[in-house]
Amino acid sequence: MATIIDGKALAAKIRLQAKERAERLRAQGVEPGLAVVLVGDDPASKTYVRAKHRDCEECGIVSFDYALPAETTEDELLGLIQRLNGDAAVAGILVQMPLPAHIDAERVIQAIDPEKDVDGFHPMNLGKLVRGLPGLRPCTPAGIMRMLEEYGIDPHGKRAVMVGRSSIVGKPMSLMLLAADATITIAHSSTAELASACRDADILVVATGQARMVRRDWVKPGAVVVDVGMDRDENGKLCGDVAYDEVEPLAEAITPVPGGVGPMTRAMLMENVMYAAERQVAARRA
């Protein structure tokens, strides 16, 4: 029987801490604010954006909603970001991905002031992560590190396997595990003998977007398994990238879907907004 890593409960604790930090800033006359920019009307993105506004409300963070039509041009979006960069009421800027195909997401990410880049996607923040400097960290891997810490799972000296190499999860996750002294393998769709690579892992993090891809025989007994997936199985039921029912009995600890990584990602966004807001206040006073 594995320890079930309760991301939902830990996320609630992190939101409460963010709320306390927001109250401290407000007592100093500063309202922390997050601008959430959505281009187009992708239903999943709309759901995520609504959740972010709700989280802000709970934490006492002012949220500014920019719902732009799908036809918005890249120049119009870049213009909005310039304005938000210069707006002292906006501590954090989040542009919901994916953007419509006619907009270059890379240009948009690079237009965001790195001090307001609460997604941690800007090359400056990713560079700080590479160099081991403090900075805004991508929310999903930061949330996973926090879960490991909370459950007393120290990556030091462990073999960690990251399945997936995205800039949002796989690459930053690998760097964070490396910074915590794990020996890290990054596996992906072109990895030969993927199941066998996974079986080496003491800590296995899976972010492939393939429903129930990781099966029982992919996992070493006693491994810690972190499932970043948010998929649908063949019956349309929400599931992860890990076949939970097969893997849970042999894992030491495992994150459920839902209730694992997802709530932590959202909570770390609130923490990032407070980190950004506090830094901006300190910079203005310096």
Closest CB 80 distance from ligand GUN, rounded Å: 15
Query: To 10 degrees, the CA torsion angle through 201, 204, 210, 216?
Result: 60
Residue number with CB closer to ligand GUN (61 or 139): 139
Q: Is 128 a catalytic residue?
A: no
Closest CB 71 distance from ligand GUN, rounded Å: 20
Tokens of 20: 């306390």
Residue number with CB closer to ligand GUN (118 or 224): 118
Type of residue at 173:
M
Residue number with CB closer to ligand GUN (128 or 216): 128
Nearest residue to ligand GUN by CB is 97
* CA-only gyration radius of the chain, Å: 19
Closest CB 175 distance from ligand GUN, rounded Å: 16
Closest CB 49 distance from ligand GUN, rounded Å: 9
The string of DSSP codes covering 144-168 is HHHHHHHTT---TT-EEEEE---TT
Q: Is 237 a catalytic residue?
A: no
Burial of 200 (0-12, 13-18, 19+ CB in 10 A): middle
CB atoms within 10 A of CB 30: 18
Q: Which of the residues 55, 113, 117, 119 is marked catalytic?
A: 119
Q: Is 52 a catalytic residue?
A: yes
Longest dimension (CA), the chain: 57
Residue number with CB closer to ligand GUN (128 or 159): 128
For binding to ligand GUN (CB under 6 A), which residues are involved? 94-97, 119, 139, 168
Q: Which residues are catalytic, by number?
A: 52, 96, 119
